[in-house]
Structure 1
Amino acid sequence: MSEWLALVLIILATCGAVFLFAVVRQRRAGATEDPSETPDVIEYMTMMLGVVYAIVLGLAIAGVWEARGSAEDWVRQEAQALHEMDVRAGVFPPDVRDGIRADINGYVDYVLEDEWPLLVDHGELGAEGDVLLRELREVITGREPTTVRETESYQGLIDQLARVDEARVGRAQSAEPTMPLAVWIGLVSGAVAVIGMVFVLQIRRSGRELLLAGMFTAMIAFLLFLVYHFDAPYSRGLSDVTESYTRHFPEAGGDS
């Protein structure tokens, strides 16, 4: 089942529960209940609760969206740095150049074929990636530059390799969920409280009130789904992150 289909089913279920609760409550209350008797303090509390929850929910969405952008930036930085290393290696003799490019392509192939599924499913990196980067560093530092162009490219390779290492660490950190369990408990319980306060205001069974209550419930369910969707950027929040690698290395990844 796709996540968007699950979202539709959740919205339909929550809205159905709201409608059913409103109808059952109205039948039990009978005609003697007067909505105008709702104390003013309850209306004030409902308004304040809704405002506070809207602020918290907005901050949660902003937090996961920022984490999504950060995850995408780390991938883009890593792919761009690898591409720069591939280009700068062209000034070295064929044996050194081919060795550097072979290690770069091997690392990219490993990231796309082996490490990316591990990152998506378990939120962690493979140990072999660190080994491949270490071997790439040994190839680069294993030969001292002999010309001015080699010296300039050598320093550039070292700098770009540091950017790759930094981006790799950032990519691993971005795979972790942004919202801790305590925040999720607060978001869900807050949604229940906010929706429940609507019925404390003695909502009637009129079509207009039921429609507004349903739309309000659907909106909260959708916003909570957005927080959940972007909380894991590599597995849900980003559509095709690996394009950053394949754009610079079209033949990388094999059949993946």
Structure 2
Amino acid sequence: MTYGQGALIVAACCVIAATMGFAAFRLTHVDLRRNHHEVGGMIFLQVGVVYGVVLAFVFAQVFEEITVASDAVNAERGDLHAIAALASALPPDSARALREAIVGYVDAVISEEWPAMDENREESPVARARFNRMLLVASGIDVAGGEAAAARDHIMDLLLDAQASRATRIHESGNGVPQLIWILLIGSAVLLQLFVVFSGTEYMYSHVMFSTTFSLLVSSILVVIALMNYPFSGSMRLSSSEFAATLARVNQSFHDAGRSAELN
């Protein structure tokens, strides 16, 4: 969902609510609505409290999913950057092969996997294959011991951490609010809106204003939840800029390693 679509949904809900409020005021006598106001008010308060609790829970859950996805992205790119830095302790050929594998993977994440998570909410086979290539290159590094061996072991640990963060990122890309919850939220909102529409308000302008205001608040919250629903989709999706920054740093390490080899 885009911001424009969300704004249109909120505007449409307000127009419908105002129209329903106006129609209810014109077609039903105020005394008839007042006769049911006491019982209706009690039901509205009870249902409203339950709805507010459910709405707050869903909002908190969606926000937590975005936080988890963002943390996974930061952890994965941090591990990759650390691996590229540790590669300087490896033999030149091994360091070059590992950095090339990292560049290939990060490039696939930006160009292939991010659009796949946005459109299909799934991983990219190309990115998965390139990550496996990184693991293969790192596990195939042959060093006798000392600093290079310690660096290789640390790189393998970081790769395993990056793999776990990647799995979390892929999982969160398809982890949204279930359809049944959406039906419950929207259906309850419509029910509560009807209580407001048929309330025993004496003046027409106040009646329409109350109906419109209630619709504005509830529909706005639901739209915000929809915008945040999938961490890598919609207008509020997480950006791939962090991976782009990691790619730039790894390329810079390539450049620095090449200059160092020329000087030596």
TM-score by length of 1: 0.90
C-alpha distance in 1 between matches for 2:38 and 2:188: 21
C-alpha distance in 1 between matches for 2:115 and 2:8: 28
- The letter for the 2-side match of 1:6 is Q
Q: Give the conservation status (yes or no) of the 8 Å contact 2:66–2:228.
A: yes
Shift of 1:11: 2.0
Q: What residue number does 1:66 align with?
A: 64
- The letter for the 2-side match of 1:156 is H
**Superposition map of 1:217-236 within 5 A:** 217-236=215-234
Structure 1 stretch 232-241 or stretch 170-179: which is displaced more? 232-241
C-alpha distance in 1 between matches for 2:203 and 2:250: 60
C-alpha distance in 2 between matches for 1:204 and 1:248: 63
C-alpha distance in 2 between matches for 1:122 and 1:249: 24
Q: Give the conservation status (yes or no) of the 8 Å contact 2:66–2:231.
A: yes
**Superposition map of 1:189-208 within 5 A:** 189-208=187-206
Shift of 1:112: 0.8
Evaluate the alpha carbon distance shift between residue 208 and residue 11 of structure 1 in structure 2; reply closer, same or farther with a 3 A threshold.
same
Q: Give the conservation status (yes or no) of the 8 Å contact 2:69–2:231.
A: yes
Q: Give the conservation status (yes or no) of the 8 Å contact 1:68–1:237.
A: no
TM-score by length of 2: 0.88
Q: What SS does the aligned partner of 2:234 have?
A: helix
Shift of 1:34: 5.4
Q: What residue number does 1:80 align with?
A: 78
Q: What residue number does 2:255 align with?
A: none
Q: What residue number does 1:131 align with?
A: 129
Shift of 1:20: 1.5
**Superposition map of 1:147-166 within 5 A:** 147-166=145-164
Match of 1:142 among 116, 140, 143: 140
State, as a whole percentage, how many aligned pairs show the same letter: 21
Shift of 1:130: 2.4
Q: Give the conservation status (yes or no) of the 8 Å contact 1:75–1:241.
A: no
**What are the superposed Cα offsets for residues 70-127 of structure 1, whole Å, 9 maximum, x if unpaired?**
1111111111111011001110111111011000101111111122111111011122
Q: Give the conservation status (yes or no) of the 8 Å contact 2:91–2:148.
A: no
The answer for unaligned runs of 5 or more in structure 1 is: none
Shift of 1:62: 0.5
**What are the superposed Cα offsets for residues 210-253 of structure 1, whole Å, 9 maximum, x if unpaired?**
22321111110011111111111101264552121122222789
**What are the superposed Cα offsets for residues 138-160 of structure 1, whole Å, 9 maximum, x if unpaired?**
22121332242112211110111
C-alpha distance in 2 between matches for 1:193 and 1:103: 56
Matched length: 251
The answer for unaligned runs of 5 or more in structure 2 is: 252-264
Evaluate the alpha carbon distance shift between residue 129 and residue 8 of structure 1 in structure 2; reply closer, same or farther with a 3 A threshold.
closer
Q: What residue number does 1:17 align with?
A: 16
**Superposition map of 1:26-105 within 5 A:** 26-30=25-29, 33=31, 35-105=33-103
Q: Give the conservation status (yes or no) of the 8 Å contact 1:103–1:136.
A: yes
C-alpha distance in 2 between matches for 1:172 and 1:4: 24
Q: What SS does the aligned partner of 1:234 have?
A: coil
C-alpha distance in 2 between matches for 1:212 and 1:116: 43
- The letter for the 1-side match of 2:70 is E
Shift of 1:55: 0.7
Evaluate the alpha carbon distance shift between residue 181 and residue 239 of structure 1 in structure 2; reply closer, same or farther with a 3 A threshold.
closer
